[in-house]
Structure formats: C-alpha cells, structure tokens
Chain A
Amino acid sequence: MTFLLRRFVFYIVTAWAAITLNFFIPRMLPGNPVQSLINRYQGQLSTDATQALYAMFGLDKETTVWQQYLDYWGNLFQGDFGLSFTFFPTPVGEVIAQSIPWTLILVGVSTLISFVLGTLAGVYIGWRRGRWTDSLLPIGSFFSAIPYFWLGLIAIAVFAVAWPVFPASGGYDGAFVPSWDADFVWSAVYHGLLPAITIIVSSIAGWMLGMRNMTVTVSSEDYVTVAHAKGLKERTVMFGYAARNAILPNISGFALSLGFIVGGTLVTEIVFSYPGIGYILYQGVSSKDYPLMQGVFLIITMSVLVANMFADLAYALLDPRTRQEG
C-alpha cells in the first residue's frame, strides 16, 4: 500500500501548492488592479466587495501576510471564495456549484470515451504494424495538433450553421428549467453531443499515438515472445500480454496529461457557450472578475487531482508491483 500512501501525500502537497499559489499570485503581480476595477464598476461594488478585493490582492495593509494567509484558508474551509463581480452579488462558490456538473459530465464522459477508444485503436495499430492502419498515424498527429476550440468552431460552422442538425450553443433548450425530467435530459444530451464529439475527435489521437508506441515497445519484450512461443491465441497475446502491460504507462500518462486536456476542453465550452466551468472562466476573464477566476482555478485543480487519484487507483489495481510491501 506504500504506493497509494505516497501518492496520497503527493496529492496533499499538490493541493497545498495550488492553493498557496492561488493566494500569492495576486499579491506578487505588479500593479494595482483593484483601483482600476473599482473605477470600472463605479458604484456597483459594495463596500464588502471592495474590502474583499483589497484583501485578495494583499493591499489590506493592516494585516500581515501570514494573517491574510490564515484568513484565506479559513475562508476556503467555509467554502467562501468571495463574491463574483460578473454575477454580483452571487458568491463565487454558488456560481461554480451551478456550472460544475455540466463540465464534469461533458468533459468526464468525453475524455473517458476518447481514452478508451484511442487506447484500443492504439493497441490495434501497434500490434498490426505495416498495414493500412499505419496511415492513421499522420492523420492522428494532424488532429492532435489542432486546437480543440478551432475544431469546435469548424464543427459549429458545419453542423450548426451550414447544415443545422445540432444546436450551435448552450447546454440545453432555453424553454426548459433544469430538472431531472426526460425532456430536459434529452435536451441536455442533444446539446452536449457536438461539444463531446469535438473533444473526442481532437483528443483521441493523442491516446492512440501513445498507446501505439507503448504497444510497439512492449511487443518486443521477452514475455511477449514467450507468449507467442507458447502458442497462445493471438487475442490472448495481444491483450493479455502486450496491451495489458502497455496500458500501464498510458494510465500514468492519462493522469499526468489530464491537466493539459482539461485546459483544452474548457476552451471548447467557451466556443459552444456551454454552461460549464470553462464558460464561467471565460466570463470571468472578460469582466476581470478575479475572485471568480481564482475560484474556478482552484476547483479545476482539485477536480484534476481527484481524477488523478482515480487513475492511480486503477494503476495500483492493474500493476501488482505497486502492491509490493516495502
């Protein structure tokens, strides 16, 4: 269990680092954004909000940095991320709570689908080298070089504008009120389909290429040759010996690149005006809503950490060597 324990400590440290980074970034950057903000929101910001802003940027000279840091942690534990300017006077926590399920479902499901399909395709291409499937490699690397958001733009242009089969924006039909009834769920699925396909198409190639390379590398391991020598069925050798081992580094790769991928998918939400956390971040950026942006950053980081923990758990289940004592 030492493996999981070590990983757990790592996540604690990472969470601490992210939260602390979040605390210091506004303090370390030059300039005085607060004054310009107050000017911009002339009259619209309550004294509470300006006070919170000063505290956030460390311009509150009366307290020491250490005291500010402690207060910051105290607020975090109460789920208090401050007030959003954009959705004033809604607390940031509430704004995030409303948008996070959308992102979790859209990004979570499409990333999983993409990982599974890409990995399977990669195994197949790596196993059967020198066939037509090899030509998927350059196509794949082209697709993985396209930014998610641009593919989203193209998808909208083709499937929502030129040939309107999907809605161009939003997470559900405006005529509904979010609830769990069938009409609404169907509407949400329908709206989520195009963004999901976009995410899958642009991220699948990365998994495919990674898995292909691992499969090729593992295929020349001795134990794969032994499996062939034993006269096992091709499927057994391919999945039980080659892919079963090749997937291990791919899972750690999955964990490590989640951060990259989530970043990309957030921008997809922006393009589709999908009511998830990415779109909120975008709105925060447009109106310089710092509390909102920082809250979103923290939430995204924590979600990625949790996803990482699941990946580690899967790794520990799949690789007996991590269960070694000592």
Chain B
Amino acid sequence: MSRAASKVDTAVTSTGHRAAVGEPVLEIKNLSVDYGYDDHAVHALRDVSLTLGVGEVLGLAGESGCGKSTLAYAATRLLPPPGVITGGDVIFHSSRDDRRLDLFRMSDDQLRASRWDDMAIVFQGAMNSLNPVYRVGKQLIDVMVAHRPDRSRAAHRARAKELLEMVGISPDRINSYPHQLSGGMRQRVMIAMALALEPQVVIMDEPTTALDVVMQRQIVEQLVKLRTDLGFSVIFITHDVSLLIELADRIAIMYAGQIIEDATADDLYRRPRHPYTHGLLNSFPPLHGPRRELSGIPGSPPDLTALPSGCPFHPRCPHAFDPCDTKRPRLQGTGLPGEGHRQVSCFLHDGYDAAVPGHLAVPPKVEEKSL
C-alpha cells in the first residue's frame, strides 16, 4: 500500500548515481500472488510494488524462494498453475506511443498482441527455453510472423540472421537445432529472440545461472552493450547481488515474497539500511573498494507456508527488537535526511527508540574513503 501512487523520481539520488529518469514504463502495484486456489494457498507475493523507469536497469535480488521469479512471471501473467494473481495491477506505459495497458484487465487476444512486442523475457533455463524439435531460425521467425504479419518471409529471415549476428552468433547457425548449440549459444539465441521485436522492456530471469563464469561474463557484457545501443529497460533478476551492483541502476531486495529494500545500486552497496541487505552484501567478497568481513546470514530462508509473525526476517535478524516479532514493518522512506527516494521495510528506520546499529545508519553524504 505504501507506494500505491508512487512516481519514479529516483533521478536525483543521494549520491548522484545515474538512475532512472522520469517516466515509468512498467508499474507493478500491490501485486499479490498465491500458489493454490483454496484456503491453504501459499501467499508467494504480498503487496509488492515496483516501478521500472524508461531506460532503467532494475535489479531484483534475494535468496532462492523469495519470490523474485514469481514476480516476473506474475507481472507477465505467465505464472503456471497453481499460481493465481489475487490482487494488484500491472500497468505498462508505452513510451513510443500513447498506449497505457492494464495487463490484468486485458483480453487474451490483447495480451497476446502485447506480449514480446512490448515486453520480452529471457528465461532462467537456457537449456529448455528452446523448442527442441524446431530449428533456431524457425523459432526466431515465428514470433515475427505472429506480430508482424505484413512483412515478407525473406525480411523475417534476414532479420533473424541480423539478430544472431547481434548477439555474436554466426548467421549460418539459423539452420541449427537447439541440441547442436552450446548452453551459452542457446542463451544468446534467447536474448536475440527477446530483442526480435525491439521491446521496450526486457525481463531477464537469472539469464546466466546455468552457464560457466566466463560465459556469464561475456553474456552480461553483451547485454550491457545491447542495452546501450537499443535503449530498452531491463528488470534483471538474480541471486547474485555483486553482479547487480555493477549492472543495475537501482536494486530491489526481496525477502519472503516482499520487497524489503529499494534503492539505487550505489546507495544500497555503500549504505545498506536493512539488516538483510547488509547480510547479503557481506556474504560475498566485494569486487572493488574496501575489504569487508564475510559473514553471511544465519539461518535459512523462511517457509512461505509458515511465516513467522511480525517481520518475516526477525528470527534471523541480529538487530531484532521489541516490535519485530509482532508487527509487520512497511516499506517506506528511511527517515534519514536526504534519502527521500530510497525505501526500506524495517523498524530500525521507523522512528522507534532503538539505536540503529552504526553500519545500518551510515549517513548519506560522507566521504567515500571514510567507509
């Protein structure tokens, strides 16, 4: 509820880090998702709100099972049964024309027409995203035929070759079957496919998980380059926060089906406000900057079927205090001066009398060296 009418105004951040500019392209408002249809349904997402600005790279991170992929699938209405959307809205604002699409109130045909044309997705499973019995070319072309029936087949084929070349695959691979390609190549094909219709938003659901580190690097670099060239907005989902810090403009951290912190990449990295974010950042060695002590997060991710009362993180939280096990914190401003744009869901920043631990209360405008 907290951001029901939020507007993206993260252009000016506490550190002046490059960030979302102006207009939103995708607004997710109070999205709730259940798995199951009866009273025993698991609440996989609760009131999640998130806005993606035009040209922005928004990172979505969290431990596995926190709902980050569910968010991507639900927002595109691709969540398989027994998933059901129980509330909220997803609005797509086209920045190229004046369309404003309410994804949850569209007919199937309207949704079909909008899919891939406005928003494309690169799925997690590089291995299984391609239909094993069709040639790569056919799979690149069928989406173009479905959405651009007016163009000739030769034009589609030329475009398919061009796309392959764009992602660094030799165009004669157009006649290959998926099993003839390596995992990295298949994922590149999926990226090429996502860009086939020049969508305004590309959702990447752990696009590099199944690949080796060198391949991951190459693909991420390619993505950065393509984004600069083509200017689409990206929601990048991963459990690898270190990758996001390099890649994303803004990062949202999820825990137990909720967003618990939403800030620019720089702010989040240098001054995490939520104990969970702090824990996540300390579970991997930083690539740049000063050394940190690796600590990780004690305990294991919560069971969504039996969430603890109050703040879902409190059983694992080193700073849990009075209200944490009874009341649920809301996602809202941090209460620190000069940080009007970032949000956190933690009682430490909610005006309680508890002393905020030093590392979670680093003031925004300090010299970087003093960290």
Interface residue ranges, A against B (CB under 8 Å) = 129, 220-223, 225-234, 236, 240-241, 244-245, 248, 318-321, 324
Contacts and interface: CB of A to CB of B under 8 A. Distances in A.
Contact of B80 (A220, A230, A231, A321): A220
Contacts of B190: 226
Given A230-B115, A231-B147, A319 B133 contact: yes
B179 A320 contact: yes
B36 interface: no
A223 B112 contact: no
A223 B143 contact: no
27 contacts: A220-B80, A221-B128, A222-B123, A223-B131, A225-B80, A226-B129, A226-B131, A226-B190, A227-B131, A229-B115, A229-B120, A229-B121, A229-B123, A230-B115, A230-B193, A231-B111, A231-B115, A231-B117, A231-B147, A232-B143, A233-B112, A234-B108, A236-B142, A244-B133, A245-B131, A320-B132, A321-B179
Given A320-B179, A321-B179, A225 B123 contact: yes
B117 A245 contact: no
Contact of B128 (A223, A228, A229): A223
A231 B177 contact: no
Given A220-B80, A225-B80, A230 B142 contact: yes
Contact of B113 (A231, A244, A248, A324): A231
B282 interface: no
A231 B108 CA distance: 10
Contacts of A220: 80
B116 interface: yes
7 interchain residue pairs of minimum CB distance: A231-B115, A222-B128, A230-B143, A320-B177, A231-B112, A223-B131, A222-B125
Contacts of A233: 112, 146
Nearest to B117: A231
B213 interface: no
A288 to B, nearest CB: 51
Given A229-B78, A233-B146, A245 B132 contact: yes
Contacts of B108: 234
Interface of A is mostly: helix
Contact of A222 (B129, B133, B142): B129
Given A230-B143, A232-B143, A241 B131 contact: yes
B134 interface: yes
Contacts of A319: 132-133
B216 interface: no
Contacts of B14: none
Contact of A232 (B78, B114, B142): B142
B134 A240 contact: yes
Nearest to A245: B133
Contacts of B76: 229
Given A225-B123, A320-B179, A231 B143 contact: yes
Contacts of B146: 230-233, 236
A33 to B, nearest CB: 53
Most chain B CB neighbours (cut-off 10 Å) among A230, A236, A321:
A230
A120 B120 CA distance: 31
A256 to B, nearest CB: 21
Contacts of B193: 230
Interface in B280-301: none
Given A320-B132, A324-B179, A225 B78 contact: yes
Given A220-B80, A221-B128, A223-B128, A231 B123 contact: no
A319 B133 CA distance: 6
Given A229-B123, A236-B142, A321-B132, 15 more contacts: A222-B123, A222-B125, A222-B128, A223-B130, A226-B129, A229-B116, A231-B115, A231-B146, A232-B112, A236-B146, A244-B134, A319-B133, A320-B135, A321-B179, A324-B179
A250 to B, nearest CB: 14
A221 B123 CA distance: 12
B198 to A, nearest CB: 14
Contacts of A230: 115-116, 142-143, 146, 193
Given A225-B80, A320-B177, A231 B116 contact: yes
Nearest to A228: B78
Nearest to A129: B81
A226 B123 CA distance: 8
A233 B317 CA distance: 48
Nearest to B77: A228
A313 to B, nearest CB: 16
Most chain A CB neighbours (cut-off 10 Å) among B111, B123, B124, B190:
B123
Most chain B CB neighbours (cut-off 10 Å) among A129, A225, A227, A248:
A225
Contacts of B78: 225, 228-229
Contacts of B111: 231
Contacts of A321: 132, 177, 179
A285 to B, nearest CB: 45
Interface in B80-124: 80-81, 108, 111-117, 120-121, 123-124
Interface in B206-232: none
Most chain B CB neighbours (cut-off 10 Å) among A129, A220, A244, A320:
A320
A315 to B, nearest CB: 11
Contacts of B113: 231
A258 B265 CA distance: 62
A212 B139 CA distance: 25
Contacts of A223: 128-132
A263 B233 CA distance: 62
Contacts of A227: 131
